[in-house]
Amino acid sequence: MNYNFIIALKTFSCFIFSLFIDTKKMSLINSIIKDIFLYFIKYFYFLLIIPISVALFVVGRIIREKMLARFGEKSLLSRLMPDYSNVRPILKLILWNIAMIILTIAMANPQIGTKLVKAKQKGIDMMICLDVSNSMLAEDVKPNRLENAKLAIRKLVEQLQGDRIGIIVFAGKAYIQLPITSDYAAAEMFINNINTRLIPTQGTALAQAISMAKASLQSETRSKAIILITDGEDHEGDVLTEAEKAAAEGIRIYTIGIGTPEGSPIPIVNEKGEITGYKKDAQGNTIITRLDEITLQKVASTGQGIYIRAQNTNQALRKIFEEINKLEKTEFDTQLFSEYESWYPYFLWIAFVLLVLEMLIPARKSHWAKRINLFGQ
């Protein structure tokens, strides 16, 4: 079953919901639209036939007009060719192109849920707070800190069963990218959109990220967790105070330090993803970003969780997931679509009818159509 259409709708609805939580997330619009576009591009390449057909039609009309002009005046030719219609070929082209658009939609196999059922699931609520500051582009962890973390989060999502997950991205400020949900397909799409350009303000707002995650975990589930993935450098705000507040509400904080204490230069990346240089300070020295393990250890200890240094982010997340699985899981009600209806046959029939109409309309005027003068030409 093709879930492309459903995933796109779910992702977009989650995004709209997140805008109500934080109106400053408009920078995510471009990445969401881009992601949905890339998801459907394999079908929409077929639409290139429309501008090609229009171009061929226009060129054909121009060539035809030039050839007819050799035989005489336009007014005289219209009398010699009374059955010729200027409008019918255009109408046939319009019907054909509309049919092509509808056929392309049918190829994407849009589906809609037709039956909602209540289901009980057991799990925990967790918020993943991911650092997207420029220092996460450092390559002391291959391919770089951020891409390594994203890969690990995707693998974590694949292991979830009944748990709910949300995503917060932070640099100089923190924003909710994905409200807490059990829709893992939507979560994976949001993860793919994460990059350092989401938040222009630089820094590491650990305190704000923890505070926002705590506010997002105000549910009836007994077990709640915050997973903090960062290099911990240049943190802002009173991180330990926020960690204490979270712990007081029964929320455990697990921290993953990504990077190395020795550090690595911060690449300057252009829009194509190419490294054009490395960040330098006012004196022209190359800036080295280093993992701040001490801060992350204190946050984990205060939040009654554990700290893991991620030589391999995937292994670090696996260890933390094992710890989280030891927590008591809460049973909660959720609504799920149990049946889906594919709409492609409807689009297919509409396209078929339009193509039949296009073929039935003659390019020349028929004798009965002359009396009706349906097209005015």
Task: Identify whether residues 155 and 229 lie together within a single domain.
Answer: yes
Task: Identify whether residues 313 and 167 lie together within a single domain.
Answer: yes
Per-residue pLDDT at 314: 66
d(CA 75, CA 176): 68
**DSSP 8-state assignment for residue 366:** P
Specify if 275 maps to a domain.
yes
Helices 184-192 and 145-159: crossing angle in degrees, nearest 10, is 170
Task: Identify whether residues 328 and 206 lie together within a single domain.
Answer: yes
Residue 131, H or E segment = strand 125-131
Specify if 115 maps to a domain.
no
Per-residue pLDDT at 303: 92
Task: Identify whether residues 95 and 126 lie together within a single domain.
Answer: no
d(CA 368, CA 370): 5
Per-residue pLDDT of the chain (377 residues; tens, 9 = 90+): 444 444 444 445 544 444 444 434 444 444 455 555 555 566 667 778 888 888 988 888 888 777 766 766 666 666 666 666 677 888 888 988 898 888 888 877 776 655 555 666 777 889 999 999 888 888 888 888 898 888 888 888 888 887 889 999 998 889 998 888 888 888 888 888 888 888 878 878 889 999 999 999 877 666 889 999 988 876 666 889 999 999 999 899 999 888 888 888 988 877 777 788 888 888 888 888 888 889 899 999 999 999 988 766 667 777 877 887 777 776 666 655 455 667 778 888 998 898 888 888 876 665 555 555 544 44
Specify if 281 maps to a domain.
yes
Distance of CA 80 to the CA centre of its chain: 60
Specify if 338 maps to a domain.
no
d(CA 129, CA 229): 6
Per-residue pLDDT at 22: 45
Task: Identify whether residues 280 and 353 lie together within a single domain.
Answer: no
Task: Identify whether residues 302 and 213 lie together within a single domain.
Answer: yes
Per-residue pLDDT at 83: 62
d(CA 270, CA 283): 23
Nearest Cα to 224, choosing from 335, 305, 295? Answer: 305
Domain housing 367 = 1-110+343-377
> CATH no. for residue 154?
3.40.50.410
d(CA 22, CA 14): 12
Task: Identify whether residues 160 and 262 lie together within a single domain.
Answer: yes
